[in-house]
Amino acid sequence: MWEKKPVLFLLLATVAILVGTIVTMVLPFAWVNTEADRITTVTPYKPLEQAGRDVYIREGCNNCHTQTIRPLVADVLRYGEYSKSGEFVYDRPHLWGSRRTGPDLARIGGKYPDAWHTQHMEAPVSMIPKSNMPAYAFLKNHPLDPAYIEKSMKVLDFPYTPAEIAALNGKTEMDAMVAYLQKLGTGIPKAAAVTVVGDLKNPFPKDPAAMQAGQQLFAQNCVACHGADGEGGIGPELEPGSYDDAALFEMIYSGITANGMPSFAALGTTKVWQLTNFVNYRKEH
Protein backbone atom coordinates (compact mmCIF):
# COMPACT_ATOMS: atom_id res chain seq x y z
CA MET A 1 0.00 0.00 0.00
CA TRP A 2 1.28 3.49 -0.91
CA GLU A 3 0.73 4.86 2.59
CA LYS A 4 3.32 2.38 3.90
CA LYS A 5 5.96 3.80 1.52
CA PRO A 6 6.04 7.52 2.38
CA VAL A 7 9.12 8.39 0.33
CA LEU A 8 7.74 6.79 -2.83
CA PHE A 9 4.31 8.32 -2.18
CA LEU A 10 5.91 11.77 -1.78
CA LEU A 11 7.85 11.40 -5.04
CA LEU A 12 4.78 10.29 -6.99
CA ALA A 13 2.69 13.12 -5.55
CA THR A 14 5.39 15.64 -6.49
CA VAL A 15 5.49 14.30 -10.06
CA ALA A 16 1.69 14.51 -10.32
CA ILE A 17 1.69 18.10 -9.08
CA LEU A 18 4.47 19.08 -11.48
CA VAL A 19 2.68 17.52 -14.45
CA GLY A 20 -0.53 19.30 -13.52
CA THR A 21 1.30 22.61 -13.12
CA ILE A 22 3.00 22.29 -16.51
CA VAL A 23 -0.20 21.31 -18.32
CA THR A 24 -2.51 23.88 -16.71
CA MET A 25 -0.16 26.84 -16.22
CA VAL A 26 3.21 26.72 -17.98
CA LEU A 27 2.11 25.49 -21.41
CA PRO A 28 -0.97 27.76 -21.70
CA PHE A 29 1.16 30.74 -20.69
CA ALA A 30 3.66 29.90 -23.43
CA TRP A 31 0.93 29.32 -26.01
CA VAL A 32 -0.88 32.64 -25.50
CA ASN A 33 2.21 34.84 -25.23
CA THR A 34 3.27 34.60 -28.85
CA GLU A 35 3.29 37.01 -31.76
CA ALA A 36 0.49 34.99 -33.36
CA ASP A 37 -1.67 35.75 -30.35
CA ARG A 38 -1.27 39.52 -30.73
CA ILE A 39 -4.15 41.63 -32.02
CA THR A 40 -2.94 44.35 -34.38
CA THR A 41 -5.77 46.73 -33.45
CA VAL A 42 -4.83 46.66 -29.76
CA THR A 43 -2.64 49.69 -29.09
CA PRO A 44 -0.75 50.96 -26.01
CA TYR A 45 -2.44 53.37 -23.65
CA LYS A 46 -1.95 57.02 -24.40
CA PRO A 47 -0.60 59.14 -21.52
CA LEU A 48 -4.06 60.39 -20.47
CA GLU A 49 -5.50 56.86 -20.59
CA GLN A 50 -2.59 55.42 -18.62
CA ALA A 51 -2.99 58.15 -16.02
CA GLY A 52 -6.66 57.20 -15.75
CA ARG A 53 -5.73 53.56 -15.31
CA ASP A 54 -3.44 54.51 -12.43
CA VAL A 55 -6.31 56.43 -10.79
CA TYR A 56 -8.64 53.47 -11.41
CA ILE A 57 -6.22 51.16 -9.57
CA ARG A 58 -5.55 53.68 -6.80
CA GLU A 59 -9.25 54.07 -6.04
CA GLY A 60 -9.80 50.31 -5.97
CA CYS A 61 -12.28 50.22 -8.84
CA ASN A 62 -11.01 46.76 -9.77
CA ASN A 63 -12.31 45.45 -6.44
CA CYS A 64 -15.89 45.82 -7.68
CA HIS A 65 -15.57 45.73 -11.48
CA THR A 66 -14.09 42.89 -13.51
CA GLN A 67 -12.53 43.41 -16.92
CA THR A 68 -12.95 40.02 -18.50
CA ILE A 69 -15.95 38.55 -20.26
CA ARG A 70 -16.08 34.79 -20.00
CA PRO A 71 -17.00 32.68 -23.05
CA LEU A 72 -20.37 31.86 -21.54
CA VAL A 73 -23.70 32.63 -23.19
CA ALA A 74 -24.92 34.73 -20.26
CA ASP A 75 -21.73 36.82 -20.20
CA VAL A 76 -21.69 37.42 -23.96
CA LEU A 77 -25.36 38.37 -24.08
CA ARG A 78 -24.95 40.86 -21.26
CA TYR A 79 -21.54 42.39 -21.97
CA GLY A 80 -20.58 41.56 -25.56
CA GLU A 81 -17.82 39.57 -27.27
CA TYR A 82 -15.82 37.43 -24.85
CA SER A 83 -12.34 38.63 -23.91
CA LYS A 84 -9.26 37.62 -25.91
CA SER A 85 -5.81 37.17 -24.34
CA GLY A 86 -4.27 39.56 -26.88
CA GLU A 87 -6.38 42.44 -25.54
CA PHE A 88 -4.32 42.58 -22.34
CA VAL A 89 -0.81 42.74 -23.78
CA TYR A 90 -0.32 46.31 -22.51
CA ASP A 91 -2.03 45.80 -19.13
CA ARG A 92 0.52 45.97 -16.33
CA PRO A 93 -0.86 44.64 -14.06
CA HIS A 94 -3.93 43.03 -15.59
CA LEU A 95 -7.26 43.85 -13.94
CA TRP A 96 -9.33 40.80 -14.87
CA GLY A 97 -10.81 40.33 -11.41
CA SER A 98 -13.34 37.73 -10.33
CA ARG A 99 -15.96 39.61 -8.31
CA ARG A 100 -18.71 41.69 -9.87
CA THR A 101 -20.16 43.93 -7.23
CA GLY A 102 -20.58 46.29 -10.17
CA PRO A 103 -20.91 45.35 -13.86
CA ASP A 104 -18.01 44.19 -16.00
CA LEU A 105 -16.24 47.05 -17.81
CA ALA A 106 -14.34 45.13 -20.50
CA ARG A 107 -16.53 46.60 -23.28
CA ILE A 108 -17.53 49.92 -21.73
CA GLY A 109 -15.44 52.02 -24.15
CA GLY A 110 -17.65 53.95 -26.56
CA LYS A 111 -20.88 52.68 -25.04
CA TYR A 112 -21.71 56.07 -23.49
CA PRO A 113 -20.56 59.64 -24.23
CA ASP A 114 -17.92 61.34 -22.07
CA ALA A 115 -20.58 63.44 -20.33
CA TRP A 116 -22.34 60.28 -19.13
CA HIS A 117 -19.16 58.95 -17.53
CA THR A 118 -18.37 62.29 -15.91
CA GLN A 119 -21.83 62.56 -14.38
CA HIS A 120 -21.74 58.92 -13.32
CA MET A 121 -18.39 59.38 -11.57
CA GLU A 122 -19.62 62.55 -9.85
CA ALA A 123 -22.95 61.13 -8.67
CA PRO A 124 -23.55 57.45 -9.56
CA VAL A 125 -27.12 57.36 -8.27
CA SER A 126 -28.09 60.21 -10.58
CA MET A 127 -27.43 57.87 -13.51
CA ILE A 128 -28.25 54.50 -11.94
CA PRO A 129 -30.69 55.02 -9.04
CA LYS A 130 -29.97 51.69 -7.32
CA SER A 131 -26.18 52.00 -7.58
CA ASN A 132 -24.14 51.50 -4.41
CA MET A 133 -21.02 52.98 -6.00
CA PRO A 134 -19.46 55.87 -4.04
CA ALA A 135 -19.14 59.31 -5.62
CA TYR A 136 -15.82 60.41 -7.10
CA ALA A 137 -16.57 64.07 -7.74
CA PHE A 138 -13.29 65.00 -6.03
CA LEU A 139 -11.36 63.74 -9.07
CA LYS A 140 -12.29 66.98 -10.86
CA ASN A 141 -10.26 68.91 -8.28
CA HIS A 142 -7.05 66.90 -8.68
CA PRO A 143 -4.85 68.08 -11.58
CA LEU A 144 -2.54 65.60 -13.29
CA ASP A 145 1.23 65.76 -12.91
CA PRO A 146 2.70 65.42 -16.44
CA ALA A 147 6.24 64.85 -15.12
CA TYR A 148 5.13 61.89 -12.99
CA ILE A 149 3.14 60.40 -15.86
CA GLU A 150 6.14 60.74 -18.18
CA LYS A 151 8.23 58.70 -15.74
CA SER A 152 5.49 56.07 -15.58
CA MET A 153 5.36 55.80 -19.36
CA LYS A 154 9.14 55.33 -19.50
CA VAL A 155 9.03 52.55 -16.91
CA LEU A 156 6.30 50.77 -18.90
CA ASP A 157 8.19 51.40 -22.14
CA PHE A 158 5.07 52.75 -23.87
CA PRO A 159 5.53 55.02 -26.88
CA TYR A 160 4.66 58.65 -26.30
CA THR A 161 5.57 62.04 -27.68
CA PRO A 162 6.51 65.27 -25.89
CA ALA A 163 3.39 66.81 -27.37
CA GLU A 164 1.17 64.13 -25.79
CA ILE A 165 2.80 64.68 -22.40
CA ALA A 166 2.47 68.47 -22.74
CA ALA A 167 -1.22 68.03 -23.55
CA LEU A 168 -1.76 66.73 -20.00
CA ASN A 169 -1.29 70.22 -18.60
CA GLY A 170 -4.64 71.47 -17.32
CA LYS A 171 -6.16 67.95 -17.31
CA THR A 172 -7.68 66.48 -14.16
CA GLU A 173 -7.91 62.99 -12.77
CA MET A 174 -11.56 62.98 -13.86
CA ASP A 175 -10.50 63.63 -17.47
CA ALA A 176 -8.01 60.78 -17.18
CA MET A 177 -10.53 58.37 -15.69
CA VAL A 178 -13.05 59.06 -18.46
CA ALA A 179 -10.35 58.63 -21.12
CA TYR A 180 -9.37 55.28 -19.62
CA LEU A 181 -12.95 54.01 -19.48
CA GLN A 182 -13.48 55.05 -23.09
CA LYS A 183 -10.42 53.02 -24.09
CA LEU A 184 -11.61 49.74 -22.58
CA GLY A 185 -12.62 47.14 -25.12
CA THR A 186 -11.92 49.29 -28.17
CA GLY A 187 -8.98 47.18 -29.30
CA ILE A 188 -11.22 44.73 -31.14
CA PRO A 189 -13.99 45.54 -33.63
CA LYS A 190 -17.38 46.28 -32.17
CA ALA A 191 -20.03 43.63 -32.56
CA ALA A 192 -22.54 44.23 -35.30
CA ALA A 193 -25.41 46.46 -34.27
CA VAL A 194 -28.49 44.69 -32.96
CA THR A 195 -31.05 44.77 -35.74
CA VAL A 196 -34.80 44.61 -35.51
CA VAL A 197 -36.44 41.50 -36.87
CA GLY A 198 -40.09 41.42 -37.87
CA ASP A 199 -42.86 43.90 -38.55
CA LEU A 200 -42.30 47.37 -37.08
CA LYS A 201 -45.94 48.14 -36.47
CA ASN A 202 -46.88 49.63 -33.11
CA PRO A 203 -48.85 46.83 -31.39
CA PHE A 204 -50.63 49.09 -28.88
CA PRO A 205 -50.52 52.77 -29.88
CA LYS A 206 -51.54 55.07 -27.02
CA ASP A 207 -52.77 52.11 -24.97
CA PRO A 208 -53.07 53.35 -21.33
CA ALA A 209 -51.47 50.24 -19.81
CA ALA A 210 -48.59 50.39 -22.28
CA MET A 211 -48.15 54.11 -21.59
CA GLN A 212 -47.94 53.49 -17.84
CA ALA A 213 -45.43 50.68 -18.31
CA GLY A 214 -43.44 52.90 -20.69
CA GLN A 215 -43.37 55.69 -18.11
CA GLN A 216 -41.78 53.34 -15.58
CA LEU A 217 -39.26 52.14 -18.15
CA PHE A 218 -38.41 55.73 -19.07
CA ALA A 219 -37.76 56.57 -15.41
CA GLN A 220 -35.50 53.53 -15.02
CA ASN A 221 -33.51 53.81 -18.25
CA CYS A 222 -33.78 57.24 -19.86
CA VAL A 223 -34.17 60.03 -17.30
CA ALA A 224 -30.44 60.21 -16.52
CA CYS A 225 -29.62 61.30 -20.08
CA HIS A 226 -32.83 62.84 -21.42
CA GLY A 227 -34.28 64.49 -18.31
CA ALA A 228 -37.35 63.71 -16.23
CA ASP A 229 -39.69 65.19 -18.84
CA GLY A 230 -37.56 64.51 -21.90
CA GLU A 231 -36.20 68.06 -21.81
CA GLY A 232 -32.70 66.87 -22.70
CA GLY A 233 -29.33 66.90 -20.98
CA ILE A 234 -26.58 64.48 -21.84
CA GLY A 235 -28.92 63.22 -24.54
CA PRO A 236 -31.12 65.33 -26.84
CA GLU A 237 -34.59 66.65 -26.06
CA LEU A 238 -37.36 64.15 -26.77
CA GLU A 239 -40.28 66.17 -28.10
CA PRO A 240 -43.44 64.03 -28.26
CA GLY A 241 -44.57 63.21 -31.77
CA SER A 242 -41.20 64.13 -33.31
CA TYR A 243 -40.49 60.58 -34.43
CA ASP A 244 -42.23 57.96 -36.50
CA ASP A 245 -43.13 55.02 -34.24
CA ALA A 246 -41.09 52.52 -36.25
CA ALA A 247 -38.04 54.83 -36.44
CA LEU A 248 -38.13 55.56 -32.71
CA PHE A 249 -38.52 51.88 -31.87
CA GLU A 250 -35.50 51.06 -34.00
CA MET A 251 -33.39 53.78 -32.36
CA ILE A 252 -34.22 52.52 -28.88
CA TYR A 253 -33.84 48.87 -29.81
CA SER A 254 -30.60 49.17 -31.79
CA GLY A 255 -28.98 52.20 -30.11
CA ILE A 256 -27.19 55.07 -31.84
CA THR A 257 -23.43 54.58 -32.02
CA ALA A 258 -22.76 58.13 -33.25
CA ASN A 259 -23.92 59.80 -30.03
CA GLY A 260 -23.17 57.02 -27.56
CA MET A 261 -26.72 55.80 -26.97
CA PRO A 262 -26.59 52.08 -26.11
CA SER A 263 -28.94 49.44 -27.43
CA PHE A 264 -31.92 48.52 -25.26
CA ALA A 265 -32.64 45.29 -27.12
CA ALA A 266 -32.17 43.42 -23.84
CA LEU A 267 -35.49 44.88 -22.65
CA GLY A 268 -37.30 42.85 -25.30
CA THR A 269 -39.56 44.10 -28.07
CA THR A 270 -42.67 44.49 -25.87
CA LYS A 271 -40.96 46.83 -23.42
CA VAL A 272 -39.27 48.79 -26.20
CA TRP A 273 -42.72 49.36 -27.78
CA GLN A 274 -44.06 50.49 -24.39
CA LEU A 275 -41.16 52.92 -24.12
CA THR A 276 -41.76 54.10 -27.67
CA ASN A 277 -45.41 54.83 -26.88
CA PHE A 278 -44.55 56.85 -23.80
CA VAL A 279 -41.88 58.93 -25.52
CA ASN A 280 -44.06 59.69 -28.55
CA TYR A 281 -47.46 60.18 -26.89
CA ARG A 282 -46.84 61.13 -23.24
CA LYS A 283 -48.32 64.63 -23.65
CA GLU A 284 -51.54 63.08 -24.89
CA HIS A 285 -51.69 60.63 -22.00
SS3 261: strand
Distance, in Å, from the CA atom of 105 to the CA atom of 137, rounded to the nearest integer, reads 20
Residue 95 has pLDDT above 80, yes or no: yes
Strand partners, 256: 261
Report how far apart the first and last C-alpha atoms of the chain are (Å, whole number). 83
- The answer to whether the CB of 181 falls within 8 A of the CB of 109 is yes
Q: Which residues pair with 143 in a beta bridge?
A: 172
Give the pLDDT score at 113. Answer: 92
The pLDDT tens digits for 15-47 are: 999 998 888 877 776 666 555 567 888 998 999
Q: Do domains 47-183 and 208-284 have the same CATH topology?
A: yes
CATH of domain 208-284: 1.10.760.10
Mean pLDDT of 66-74: 93
Give the pLDDT confidence score for residue 241 in this predicted structure. 87
149-204 pLDDT, tens digit per residue, is: 888 888 888 778 889 999 999 999 999 999 999 999 999 887 666 666 566 888 98
Identify the pLDDT of residue 36.
54
Q: pLDDT per residue over 195-235, tens digit each?
A: 665 668 889 888 899 999 999 999 999 998 999 899 998 98
pLDDT score recorded for residue 189: 82
Domain ranges of the chain: 2-32, 47-183, 208-284
pLDDT given for residue 197 in this prediction? 59
Predicted pLDDT of residue 33: 55
User: What's the mean per-residue pLDDT of the chain?
Assistant: 88
More confidently predicted of 10 and 274: 274
Angle at 208 between CA 203 and CA 212, to 5 degrees: 100
Domain 47-183 is found in CATH 2.102.10.10: no
pTM (2 d.p.): 0.80
What local confidence, expressed as pLDDT, does residue 26 receive? 77
User: Mean pLDDT across the stretch 265-272?
Assistant: 90
**At a CB cut-off of 8 Å and minimum separation 6, what does 280 contact?**
240, 241, 242, 243, 245, 248
pLDDT for 78 equals 86
Q: How confident is the model at residue 1 (pLDDT cuts 50, 70, 90)?
A: low
pLDDT of residue 123: 95
Angle at 56 between CA 51 and CA 61, to 5 degrees: 175
